[in-house]
Chains A and B, each alone.
Chain A
Amino acid sequence: MADKVVVKNLFKIFGPGPSRAFDLMDQGMGKEEIFEKTGLTVGVREADFTVKSGEIFVVMGLSGSGKSTLVRMLNRLIEPSRGEVWVNDENVTKMNAKELNEMRRHTMSMVFQSFALMPHMTVLDNACFGLDVAGMSKPQRHERAMSALEQVGLKTYAESYPQELSGGMQQRVGLARALAQDPDILLMDEAFSALDPLIRSEMQDELINLQEESDRTVIFISHDLHEAMRIGDRIAMMEGGRIVQIGTPDEILKNPADKYVQSFFRGVDPTTVFAAKDVARKSQLTLRWHKGEGYPVAALEQMRQEDRSWAYVLDRHQKFMGVVSEASLEQASERGDQNLSQALLPDVNPVPFDTPLQEILTIVRKYDFPVPVVDENNVYLGVVSKNRFLRTLEHGIDKPQTEATA
């Protein structure tokens, strides 16, 4: 995939005389310290990233983390203090007013959190706005705007005024206004944050659908992890004006760069975000499937030494074979069985790795022992215990190194 947007070493300092802040930043001072010393606010600090063509790139962070500032520097609604923005191999930061307007008219359009529709214009005229300022003739722009309104399902409301529509519908108009431009890049500034949850996820689906029909590049700002996970191909996490981590949702979820990133997982319903593989831990005793004699006895001995009630039986390719308990092994050794297969507990089905936590709940409840998780080749990935499940609900995923490697 080609690079669509390249951001190089981008800074924004708010306030007069920003060079003072640069000196302090070179000394390694943080946002708070610089504000105390100079009264200058560091909006964005040293942003470096690349957005690929056709990607949904989510910029995530709390309010005040600089994400809105960052995205506004891409179309220069806010002038960068230092650094460069390249769009389609053109240096946006070097453009004059005319070139900049051309880019805003044809390459990059924006959807706003507050909708920002023109209250004195009909839905159709709102959808036409960008085409109108670009000088397109009336019949032509009406046609384009109508097809954009059709895409968002608002064709019949063309003659209404924005304030006659619900919030969700207003944001569809905002989306249609941006789509009518047929832009390469869509900037969405917390576009769905003002909508209620049901409408929000509906709009997210719609965005994903639209994205499947075209290979537009979307840069999406959000403070909602759930939303970011749902729609983002990659996520950039921002804190205090700095990008602290960039990666796929999976990468960020599993290896949060710091406490700040981790803290995002609090307050998120983990059962919808996480799948079995995310919570599975190899915390249990595993036994090698072996055809040799006397194995149940050896296994029993091993379990007693480790003080375990259950053990998970794997073959030599780490494939999951079954679960044995202390009791089942005792019975097998009393019977004089020669290998483990007779000691396996009946009706134990491992959970596929991609099962959402929501669905694991019933399975975890069903068994006394932690539920085994396997990948697509039936390879053992670990177990989900009741305890672990509950802790995930409470804290999200934390990764104590000891448990992960046990």
Chain B
Amino acid sequence: MLDIFNFKEHIIPMEKWVAGAVDWLVGNYRPQFQAVKWPVEQTLNGINWVLQIVPPIIFLIILFAIAWRLSSWKVGIFGVITFLLAGYLGMWEETMTTLAMVISAVVFCVIVGIPMGIIAARSDRFVAFIRPILDAMQTTPAFVYLVPVVMLFSIGTVAGVIATIIFAMPPIIRLTNLGIRQVQSDVVEAAKSFGATPNQILWKVQFPLALPTIMAGLNQTIMMSLSMVVIAALIGAGGLGVPVFEGLNSLRVGLAFIGGLSIVLLAMVLDRITQSLGESKRIQQRDES
């Protein structure tokens, strides 16, 4: 009777099932997975090519201008100094590759995530459906992602970006949903009473008022994609993850440290620049009053 607790004898053949399922997916749906991979690859290569070819001086000027416009001149100077430091540490190329990976991952997160968030804001059923998926996406340890991604998309930088997209998508979906749902109901009611259609309400009222929250989601998505992009070095993605893993593997602590430091610096710059996006002065005023 106690035989059923013999874990050596009775084993659920999960491994076989999963392997079989993945084999079947790869065997039958390879074109589909390649089709998913293609736009990511094009975007990544395009951005990477530009970033690698642009002379550092031009890149720094543009960086300063963006940081200054979106935030302040202080953040601009901070960004320039940070990138210069990464350059002098010998990490310019890796930093550019990582930046390209982050940007392409975030582009896809936005393209897919914001519409999903909008649908979620309009449908409780859709929220009930995607919430467990989002939870799973966020709580699954980063390493575990890499397995199916490698099976379906093989290894390399593009596969790394795809893993990053999946990992970093939840915040922007959640916060788009939240931002739209948080818009004061009286304002939405007023819009309705003046004969606005649901689409007009969305684009003229809800979306602009939700924008600060959506931007906070974008900030989180960028931060999460940066952390994943580094781990993606495990499956052969390039960028700043490479020196870290090389350093760890060959016990070159200095190299790993430099790679790690560059990641932290890049994270700080991206965070400072995008944080300010969420702080629209006008809407804050209304909250205070």
Contact = CB atoms under 8 A, between A and B. Distances in A.
B194 A119 contact: no
Nearest to A110: B193
A274 interface: no
Contacts of A250: none
A101 B205 contact: no
B204 interface: yes
B112 interface: no
A120 B189 contact: no
Given A130-B195, A177-B194, A112 B285 contact: no
B224 interface: no
A23 to B, nearest CB: 29
B283 interface: yes
A120 B195 contact: no
A119 B193 contact: no
Given A77-B189, A129-B191, A163-B285, A119 B209 contact: yes
A119 B195 contact: no
A102 B282 CA distance: 32
A132 B203 CA distance: 12
Given A112-B186, A116-B186, A116-B187, A133 B209 contact: no
Contacts of A177: 194
A161 B186 contact: no
A181 B282 CA distance: 27
Given A114-B186, A116-B187, A77 B204 contact: no
A120 B209 contact: yes
A contact residues, range: 20 to 34
Contacts of A116: 184, 186-187, 189-190
B112 to A, nearest CB: 26
B190 A119 contact: no
A153 B200 CA distance: 29
A75 interface: yes
24 contacts: A75-B193, A77-B192, A100-B195, A104-B193, A104-B194, A105-B194, A106-B195, A110-B190, A110-B193, A110-B194, A112-B190, A116-B187, A117-B187, A118-B187, A119-B285, A120-B208, A133-B191, A133-B195, A133-B197, A133-B204, A134-B195, A161-B282, A163-B282, A163-B286
Interface of B: 184, 186-187, 189-197, 200, 204-205, 208-209, 282-283, 285-286, 289
The 3 lowest CB-CB distance pairs between A and B, nearest first, are: A105-B195, A104-B195, A116-B190
